[in-house]
Structure 1
């Protein structure tokens, strides 16, 4: 693995830890981390009450880079992975959604609630 790839992996894990802390501070309980499926990976799965949230975390070195950190392709992959694991993690009557948490050093995390709206 290259130094650049190793650094990106380390920063990504740091971002996921910070996102988990942020979720906890805002009343959520992280119930799973780095859930791998054949369709992709879910960074965090969190629960608060009757809401199950699949969270995509994006870490960037500069705040300006956060605006382009997430796109429809990545969200669709998270949605496909969430569909595969939701039967295992969801309880009857749960609301489910996909959120994105964007993190850059020196900035409070930015959360996009219900970031994925399936196309009809």
Structure 2
């Protein structure tokens, strides 16, 4: 993703929806709140919907972010994927209601395999 001539790495991009999902693991993102906020703000100011999935104990940085709790190993992929999917659906619902995203585009994007997303988070 390029912003003002500078390349920004994004974890998951759905260009048709202008949706970016970032996976913030607690090990790599601890102490990086200011950096993560700046990046998300730049993307939002460029018209993107940004959702940060933040592993506990990291707190959400924006209303569109969600904290993914630490879960027992056997439950991690399924539960984390379900939490992520439900939250992204809520954010997309707001975008559809505001006219930012079409319902058809949002429905198409939500067919992603969210169990895989849960494995990425944990």
TM over 0.5: no
| Bigger proportion of residues as helix | 2
Give the TM-score of the pair, scaled to structure 2: 0.30
Give the TM-score of the pair, scaled to structure 1: 0.30
| Bigger proportion of residues as strand | 1
